[in-house]
Chain A
Amino acid sequence: MSVIAPNFKFSEFVKSILDNIFWILLIFVLIGLPAVFIILFYIEMPVINGELLTPFLALTWLADPSRTLPILKAFMTTDLFRIAAFPGFGFAALLAAGTIFIERKMLAKLQLRVGPFYCGKIEGILQLMGDGLKLISKEIIIPAKADKPIFWAAPIIFVATAAAFVALIPVAPGWVVADVDVGLLAVFAIIGFFPIITILSAWSSNSKFPFIGGIRALHQMVSFEIPLILSLLGVVILTGTLNLSEIVASQTNFPWIIFLPIGAIIFFITILAELERIPFDLPEAESEIVAGWLTEFSGMIYGLVQLGTYLKLYAFAALFVVLFLGGWTGPMIWPPFPEEIITDGIVIGPIHAKIPGLPVFSQEMLNGVLWFVIKTVGVIFFILLPRGVFPRIRIDMLLSLGWYKLIGLAFVNIFIALGLLYAGVLGPGGIL
């Protein structure tokens, strides 16, 4: 007969419990109390229902339902929430994750395959989670002669740069992480960082295929940055501002794609090239150079680079929406919040539950976010579509396309914008 714990002694058991209590008390005193004091001293707590929110009463926050929603609303006005959750990283990462799944599934349907199927009951919907778990649990292998600091830092900086790009995108009126006056210039400055990170990570892995891929990525990104910047100047000329929120606000009557279709097409093509998507996926050409500059990445480092790539995809699609499709503007289709819930509360039989703090979001904001997401998902769909249709183009064709044709067309677009401006049709003081 086996015994579960043959060396069990009651005194040892008591001692281990006392040990645990001791450590918990010690950690609480050394970390928990100072944390409360740091919050008290340095963080301005909001006033909820006429009394200051104190961290000492943290547990009573949960017990008082009349304060839950106001606390939530107060939290939503903080910078932390904006950066981490809603218009910033979390929202973008959610859309990016959706994009990965939709891309795999849609590509499979286009090519008469099934795609992810077994993970999760319906159409392999948990495939993404499975992939994430696999990437997290895999070992990160670093090539023996790699330059370790750059090799480690490059994926992290890549994600950080993509997140900085996301932070500039206005999602709804007033909902933007960084509302800067020179927003479009900041976008150009941030785009300029991607080729550096790519070439550094490619060089640091000290391997042939990544280096060839990195050089190709550098060629491609640098040559397509110029038509990208030039194609957006038409919008800047017509709106007279570089602030992305103001550019959206200028499109309440009509989006700029109506007047600047050439600029929109150039910008779309340069987006494809900057994102290294088919037909411009030369830096990652898997039939020629293994996986291009991603060859040596493994485990979560690869996962980070993929996350950064899809964040970048979301950000570029959102930039297209903001500049050419009118951002959050659109007819009001979101139903208004029912008035009687605000005034009377929820009535279920004899129970009246009055919930202060409703509505959490205004109707305009929800409607704006809805339109923004619809448009962005549409643009993402059109970015994904060529992958199922086109082959990869040759690198000399790519460079001649970027340097000759797109730059020429971008100047045509600028002259159209100038013509509209000086004819007095659009722009400050125009007819429309």
Chain B
Amino acid sequence: MADAVFLALSVITIGSAIAALELRSLIYGSIALMGTLGGIAGFFLLLDSPFVAMFQLAVYVGSIAVLILFTVMLVKRELIFKKVEDKRRKFVGIALMLVLMVALGSVIMDSGIKTITTDEPAVDFRNIGADFLTYYWPALILMALILTGSVTGALILARREDVENEQRTD
């Protein structure tokens, strides 16, 4: 059962990833990207970590995919993309990807990950939270600072001072 689900999820994830790269229509491409991200959430579910899976769905599918869709719909395609394509680039790209995948795969296979078998129950999300606040607190603070910095930067970049709103009365 789990194997069949795993196979189906792999096909969905990889297939929609390829579709996201190859489709001509940007909207369909971003829908396919959503399929990829949702497939990864499915992998997390198979790995007995529904907490991470739900965050994957909420953050990646729910927010980031929406941002991508929003951008794609509102920006003229000709402004951001110049079509530089020929067959040779494509084949070189595919070959490069295959080489990378084979290299990474062999490294992972050699690392002894195949011999690990465990019956331990899945990690409770309460433990994740406790670890974040005790042992890993510097990382948490650092992440928070980086996020705050990026949000502030985005707000400053998005600010326009030339717009006068004379309709506002409040």
Say which one of B62-70, B87-95, B97-105, B133-141 lies at the interface with A. B62-70
B62 close to A199 (CB less than 8 A): no
Cβ–Cβ < 8 Å partners of A225 in chain B: 62
The complex places the Cα of A40 from the Cα of B85 at a distance, in Å, of: 57
Q: Which of B50, B51, B63, B66 contacts A199 (CB 8 A)?
A: B66
Cβ–Cβ < 8 Å partners of A181 in chain B: 50
Interface assignment of B27: CB less than 8 Å from any CB of chain A: yes
Min CB distance, B118 to chain A, in Å? Answer: 20
Cβ–Cβ < 8 Å partners of A185 in chain B: 50-51, 54-55, 58
B73 close to A180 (CB less than 8 A): no
Interface assignment of B17: CB less than 8 Å from any CB of chain A: no
Say which one of A187-195, A325-333, A353-361, A370-378 lies at the interface with B. A187-195
The complex places the Cα of A225 from the Cα of B50 at a distance, in Å, of: 21
Cβ–Cβ < 8 Å partners of B31 in chain A: 150, 200
A193-B62 contact, Cβ under 8 Å, with A181-B50, A185-B55, A396-B168: yes
Interface size on B, residues (CB 8 A): 21
Cβ–Cβ < 8 Å partners of B54 in chain A: 182, 185-186, 188-189
Residue of B nearest to A199 (CB): B69
Min CB distance, A65 to chain B, in Å? Answer: 39
Q: Which of B27, B34, B66 contacts A218 (CB 8 A)?
A: B66
Cβ–Cβ < 8 Å partners of B51 in chain A: 182, 185
Cβ–Cβ < 8 Å partners of B27 in chain A: 147, 150, 200, 203
A196 close to B73 (CB less than 8 A): no
Q: Which of A182, A193, A199, A397 contacts B61 (CB 8 A)?
A: A193
The complex places the Cα of A186 from the Cα of B55 at a distance, in Å, of: 9
B50 close to A196 (CB less than 8 A): no
The complex places the Cα of A397 from the Cα of B63 at a distance, in Å, of: 23
Min CB distance, A406 to chain B, in Å? Answer: 17
Interface assignment of A135: CB less than 8 Å from any CB of chain B: no
Min CB distance, B49 to chain A, in Å? Answer: 10
Cβ–Cβ < 8 Å partners of A416 in chain B: none
Interface assignment of A222: CB less than 8 Å from any CB of chain B: yes
B50 close to A191 (CB less than 8 A): no
Cβ–Cβ < 8 Å partners of B20 in chain A: none
Residue of A nearest to B124 (CB): A181
The complex places the Cα of A116 from the Cα of B55 at a distance, in Å, of: 45
Interface assignment of B6: CB less than 8 Å from any CB of chain A: no
A218 close to B50 (CB less than 8 A): no
Interface assignment of B125: CB less than 8 Å from any CB of chain A: yes
Interface assignment of B32: CB less than 8 Å from any CB of chain A: no
Cβ–Cβ < 8 Å partners of A182 in chain B: 50-51, 54, 125
Residue of A nearest to B165 (CB): A396
Cβ–Cβ < 8 Å partners of B57 in chain A: 189, 192
Cβ–Cβ < 8 Å partners of B55 in chain A: 185, 189
The complex places the Cα of A192 from the Cα of B54 at a distance, in Å, of: 11
Cβ–Cβ < 8 Å partners of B34 in chain A: 196
B168 close to A195 (CB less than 8 A): no
The complex places the Cα of A180 from the Cα of B62 at a distance, in Å, of: 20
Min CB distance, A205 to chain B, in Å? Answer: 13
Cβ–Cβ < 8 Å partners of B69 in chain A: 196, 199-200
The complex places the Cα of A173 from the Cα of B72 at a distance, in Å, of: 46
* A238-295 interface with B by 8 A CB criterion: 240, 242
Cβ–Cβ < 8 Å partners of A240 in chain B: 126
* B59-86 interface with A by 8 A CB criterion: 61-63, 65-66, 69-70, 73
The complex places the Cα of A218 from the Cα of B71 at a distance, in Å, of: 12
Residue of A nearest to B34 (CB): A196
Instruction: For the complex of A and B, list the 9 residue pairs with the smallest distance between their C-beta atoms, beginning with the closest.
Output: A192-B62, A189-B57, A185-B54, A189-B58, A189-B54, A188-B58, A182-B50, A192-B58, A182-B54
Q: A192-B57, A195-B62, A199-B66 are in contact. List 5 more A-B contacts (CB 8 A).
A: A150-B27, A181-B50, A185-B51, A188-B54, A200-B27
Task: Spell out A's residues near B (CB within 8 Å).
Answer: 147, 150, 180-182, 185-186, 188-189, 191-193, 195-196, 199-200, 203, 218, 222, 225, 240, 242, 396-397
